[in-house]
């Protein structure tokens, strides 16, 4: 069984707001403001794939392939996936290509899935940690005509399909999905990303990463170019969020609690 | 004249649905446009049963048209059938803007529909305005550290609105010219099927998204026992209990309690953050809170930067006394 995990490189989502800057065009984050890391839910997606392989150990070999669409620097997130023991990784180079909107990325992934045939399962993070789009997974499922389940945290393999634990607004759902399928992964207590072993990190640093180019995958597909630019980024703005914190102090804990209640009553909240 | 379509895949009409219509009406006013509402699934089915809107022709109607799409196969989680049904509706109705609420089911259906329509798509939308005939869409990016303004170059554009970002409408949902839409669904095309639904009740019986007051705990709470204390405080305040990603990942509380970029986005009147450091991904989920109280032992914790009121104290000491204070207040109010 072949599982593809789609991963994305983003600027560290945990950099403090005080260090966040925009680029000169005000269309994205400035380069170099933080480390480039694997997008948060993609880490959960890798973990879900690893757990699936571990549970399938006795039943069926599972091959995990990490894929990313991005510039050469994005190879770092593939190495991260390899250090966690993905079997192999492929970089789809976006150099010289159109703007990477959701449709373009989904089209490239679709072509990669065809090239890696037969693929049984594709996992994507629920949304990226920078633009929070949440579209590539459903777009890819549409492009492939495959089953699609979103907000999944755990996957079991059954005859002819999968059982997926899906987060809903009210709690959880257990959903059957036909094989092959696309699932977008959210986090919960069952898929907390593991840490790589030092030895595996060293091996991953030296592992060869094949690079597939856009013309190689889709030719000079005019349709691909035609889809981008449906949405223009006019401008990014940094909202003002800083508040002046009023400190509630007191000699004793009793005093602090009483003063807090008092402050909330003055603000007509209690 | 622009046409706006609000799509509500819902079993019942809640605050998110009312907010989505609110967003559409505000945009329609700026646009000189009309608002149409499509109710799809169980909520539409029960409306048809009750014959809501039938024979009623109000003189002033905020909706131009309401479409009710019901089918026995649209009762459970069946995203591809929902997409197929909506595709059938959109063969005859051609809106410029399609709005969905930010619920998980909508976040699955909307992008798939957008893909089929060849439409631009934006999720987590907090602002919509008309500018020289184009829609300017605002959404938080980079975990809320920036807001992006996007313009769709050609219609249609599909958006999912963020919960609590728009004012909900009061009054009727189903009004205007009400049409029941017959759809043909093919059961053999079924690719996913709902097997089981597990409801996770909130600890206090109040849903996070609806709560006026939220008491929320993070890593500093130290374990599941500490959350019992937060639950008690929340109950006395008439609120709900939430948690940071760290507390959920540790398995102390269910993932459905999670607040932040990776969980629910909330906008209560009062948010009490207990033992929460204030990671960006958490803070983005509470940006709509009117008053934030931070309780933490570390005065340098980033949560204090977004707090209105801060207390440096161990919560184990403070919260029990706070509960007594609130009890006393409630007793005084009763008397």
Q: What is the mean pLDDT of residues A106-110?
A: 94
Burial class (CB in 10 A: 0-12, 13-18, 19+), A71: middle
Structure confidence at residue B54 as a pLDDT band (50, 70, 90): low
pLDDT at A186: 95
Position A228 pLDDT exceeds 70: no
Closest in B115, B150, B269 to A231, CB measured? B150
Beta-ladder partners of A92: A69, A212
Position A209 pLDDT exceeds 70: yes
- Within 65-94 of B, beta carbons closer than 8 Å to A belong to 77, 79-80
The number of angstroms, rounded, from the C-alpha of B314 to the middle of its chain's C-alpha atoms is 33
Q: Which is the CATH superfamily of the domain at B3-189?
A: HUPs (3.40.50.620)
Q: What is the mean pLDDT of residues B203-228?
A: 90
pLDDT at B288: 84
- The answer, for B308 touching chain A at a CB cutoff of 8 Å, is yes
3-state helix, strand, coil in chain B (%, to 5): 35, 30, 35
pLDDT at B255: 86
Structure confidence at residue A242 as a pLDDT band (50, 70, 90): low
pLDDT single digits (tens) B88-115: 999 989 999 999 999 999 999 999 999 9
Distance CA A62, CA A55 (A): 10
Return the minimum-mean-pLDDT range out of A116-125, B260-269, B291-300: B260-269
**Any idea what the Cα angle at residue B120 is, between residues B118 and B123, rounded to 5°?**
130
Distance CA B215, CA B268 (A): 10
Position A241 pLDDT exceeds 80: no
The CA distances from residue A215 to A89, A92, A107, in Å, are 19, 11, 12
Q: What is the mean pLDDT of residues B68-94?
A: 92
Chain A residues inside the 8 Å CB shell of B325: 257-258, 260-261
A103/chain B closest Cα distance in angstroms: 8
Q: What is the mean pLDDT of residues A86-114?
A: 92
A207/chain B closest Cα distance in angstroms: 31
Position A16 pLDDT exceeds 90: no
pLDDT at A196: 97
- Among B81, B107, B111, B288, pick the best mutation site for testing chain A contact (most A Cβ within 10 A): B111
Distance CA A66, CA A86 (A): 7
pLDDT at B164: 82
| DSSP-derived pairing of the beta strands B291-296 and B309-312 | parallel
Closest in A106, A169, A269 to B103, CB measured? A169
DSSP string, A165-177: EEE-SSEEEEEEE
Asked if A148 lies within 8 A of B107 by C-beta distance, the reply is no
Report yes or no: A83 and A58 within 8 Å, Cβ to Cβ: no
3-state helix, strand, coil in chain A (%, to 5): 35, 30, 40
Closest in A22, A168, A234 to B149, CB measured? A234
- As for the ipTM of the complex, it is 0.92
Q: Where are the domains of chain A?
A: 2-227, 242-270
Find out if CATH 3.40.50.1220 is the number for domain B208-334.
yes
Distance CA B252, CA B219 (A): 10
Chain B residues inside the 8 Å CB shell of A224: none
Chain B: residue whose CA lies nearest to A267: B291
pLDDT at B174: 85
| DSSP-derived pairing of the beta strands A231-237 and A246-247 | unpaired
Q: What is the mean pLDDT of chain B?
A: 90
Structure confidence at residue B32 as a pLDDT band (50, 70, 90): confident
Structure confidence at residue B49 as a pLDDT band (50, 70, 90): confident
- SS3 (DSSP) at A251: coil
- Among A120, A136, A239, A246, pick the best mutation site for testing chain B contact (most B Cβ within 10 A): A239
Distance CA B259, CA B248 (A): 10
Position B62 pLDDT exceeds 90: no
Q: Where are the domains of chain B?
A: 3-189, 208-334
Position B184 pLDDT exceeds 80: yes
Single out the residue of B77, B114, B76 nearest to residue B95, CA to CA.
B114
Label each residue of A66-97 as H, E or C: EEEEECHHHHHHHHHHHHCCCCEEEEEECCCC
- Within 10-69 of B, beta carbons closer than 8 Å to A belong to none
Percent of chain B with pLDDT over 70: 97
pLDDT single digits (tens) B117-166: 999 999 999 999 998 878 999 999 998 899 999 998 888 999 999 988 89
Q: How many CB pairs under 8 A join A and B?
A: 262
Asked if B197 lies within 8 A of A172 by C-beta distance, the reply is yes
Q: Considering only the top CATH level, what class is A2-227?
A: alpha beta
Position B58 pLDDT exceeds 70: no
Chain B residues inside the 8 Å CB shell of A144: none
Burial class (CB in 10 A: 0-12, 13-18, 19+), B297: middle
Structure confidence at residue B176 as a pLDDT band (50, 70, 90): confident
Distance CA B4, CA B24 (A): 7
Structure confidence at residue B53 as a pLDDT band (50, 70, 90): low
Q: What is the mean pLDDT of residues B210-223?
A: 94
Position A224 pLDDT exceeds 80: no
pTM comes to: 0.92
Chain A: residue whose CA lies nearest to B323: A257
**What DSSP state is assigned to residue A221?**
-
Structure confidence at residue B287 as a pLDDT band (50, 70, 90): confident
pLDDT at A213: 93
- Within 147-176 of B, beta carbons closer than 8 Å to A belong to 147-154, 157
Chain A: residue whose CA lies nearest to B290: A269
pLDDT at A106: 94
Q: What is the mean pLDDT of residues B325-329?
A: 93
Asked if B291 lies within 8 A of A186 by C-beta distance, the reply is no
Return the minimum-mean-pLDDT range out of A2-16, A164-178, B48-62, B232-246: B48-62
Position A200 pLDDT exceeds 80: yes
Closest in A149, A174, A269 to B269, CB measured? A269
Position A182 pLDDT exceeds 60: yes
The CA distances from residue B116 to A92, B16, B39, in Å, are 25, 25, 20
The CA distances from residue B179 to B24, B54, B151, B309, in Å, are 19, 9, 32, 51
Q: What is the mean pLDDT of chain A?
A: 93
The number of angstroms, rounded, from the C-alpha of B125 to the middle of its chain's C-alpha atoms is 11
Distance CA B277, CA A17 (A): 14
Structure confidence at residue B328 as a pLDDT band (50, 70, 90): very high
Report yes or no: A50 and A63 within 8 Å, Cβ to Cβ: no
Structure confidence at residue B284 as a pLDDT band (50, 70, 90): confident
Report yes or no: B215 and B274 within 8 Å, Cβ to Cβ: yes
pLDDT at B51: 75
Chain B residues inside the 8 Å CB shell of A174: 194-198
pLDDT at A225: 58
Asked if B255 lies within 8 A of A167 by C-beta distance, the reply is yes
- Cβ neighbors of A77 (< 8 A, separation 6 or more) are A7, A8, A9, A36, A37, A38, A39, A42, A66, A68
Closest in B141, B197, B326 to A131, CB measured? B141
Q: What is the mean pLDDT of residues B210-227?
A: 95
Chain B residues inside the 8 Å CB shell of A236: 141, 146-149
pLDDT at A221: 64
Beta-ladder partners of B294: B273, B310
Percent of chain A with pLDDT over 90: 81
Asked if A243 lies within 8 A of B262 by C-beta distance, the reply is no
Distance CA A50, CA A147 (A): 21
Percent of chain A with pLDDT over 70: 96
């Amino acid at each position: 069984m072949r599982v593809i995990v789609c991963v994305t490189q983003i600027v560290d989502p945990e950099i403090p707001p005080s260090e966040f800057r925009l680029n000169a065009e005000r269309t994205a984050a400035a380069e170099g403001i933080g480390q480039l890391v694997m997008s948060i839910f993609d880490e959960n997606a890798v973990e879900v794939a690893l757990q699936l392989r571990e549970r399938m150990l006795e039943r069926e070999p599972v091959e995990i392939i990490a894929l990313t669409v991005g510039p050469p620097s994005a190879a770092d997130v593939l190495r991260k996936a390899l250090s966690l023991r993905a079997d192999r990784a492929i970089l789809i180079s976006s150099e010289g290509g159109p703007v990477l909107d959701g449709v373009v990325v989904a089209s490239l992934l679709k072509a990669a899935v065809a090239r890696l045939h037969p693929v049984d399962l594709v996992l994507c993070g629920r949304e990226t940690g920078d633009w929070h789009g949440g579209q590539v997974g459903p777009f890819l499922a549409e492009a492939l005509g495959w089953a699609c389940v979103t907000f999944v945290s755990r996957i079991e393999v059954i005859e002819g399909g999968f059982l997926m634990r899906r987060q809903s607004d009210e709690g959880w759902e257990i959903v059957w999905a036909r094989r092959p399928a696309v699932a977008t992964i959210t986090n919960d207590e069952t898929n907390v990303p593991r840490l790589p072993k030092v030895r595996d990190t060293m091996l991953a640093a030296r592992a060869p990463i094949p690079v597939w180019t856009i013309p190689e995958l889709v030719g000079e597909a005019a349709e691909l170019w035609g889809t981008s630019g449906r949405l223009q980024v006019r401008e990014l703005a940094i909202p003002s969020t800083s508040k002046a914190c009023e400190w509630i102090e007191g000699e004793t804990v009793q005093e602090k609690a009483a003063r807090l209640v008092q402050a909330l009553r003055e603000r007509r909240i209690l | 004249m622009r046409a706006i379509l609000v799509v509500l895949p819902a079993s019942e009409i809640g605050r998110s649905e009312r907010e989505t219509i609110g967003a559409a009406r505000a945009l329609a006013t700026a646009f000189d446009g009309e608002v149409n509402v499509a109710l799809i699934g169980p909520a539409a089915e029960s409306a048809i049963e009750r014959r809501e809107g039938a024979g009623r022709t109000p003189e002033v109607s905020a909706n131009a048209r309401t479409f009710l799409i019901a089918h026995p196969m649209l009762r459970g989680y069946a995203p591809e059938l929902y997409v197929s049904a909506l595709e059938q509706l959109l063969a005859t109705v051609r809106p410029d803007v399609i709005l969905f609420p930010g619920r998980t089911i909508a976040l699955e259906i909307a992008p798939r529909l957008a893909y089929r329509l060849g439409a631009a798509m934006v999720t987590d939308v907090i602002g919509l305005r008309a500018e020289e005939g184009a829609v300017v869409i605002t959404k938080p990016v980079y975990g809320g550290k920036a807001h992006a303004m996007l313009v769709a170059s050609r219609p249609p554009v599909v958006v999912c609105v963020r919960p609590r970002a728009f004012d909900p409408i009061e009054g009727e949902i189903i009004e205007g010219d009400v049409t029941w839409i017959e759809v043909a669904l093919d059961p053999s095309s079924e690719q996913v099927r709902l097997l089981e639904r597990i409801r996770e009740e909130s600890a206090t019986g109040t849903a996070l998204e609806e709560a006026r007051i939220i008491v929320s705990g993070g890593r500093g709470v130290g374990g599941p026992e500490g959350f019992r204390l937060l639950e008690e405080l929340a109950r006395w305040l008439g609120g709900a209990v939430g948690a940071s990603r760290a507390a959920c990942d540790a398995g102390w509380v269910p993932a459905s309690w999670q607040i932040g970029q990776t969980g629910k986005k909330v906008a209560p009147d009062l948010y009490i953050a207990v033992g929460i450091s204030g990671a960006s991904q958490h803070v983005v989920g509470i940006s709509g809170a009117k008053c934030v109280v931070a309780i933490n032992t570390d005065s340098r914790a980033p949560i204090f930067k977004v707090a209105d009121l801060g207390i440096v104290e161990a919560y184990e000491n403070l919260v029990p006394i706070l509960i007594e204070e609130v009890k006393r207040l409630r007793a005084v109010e009763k008397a």
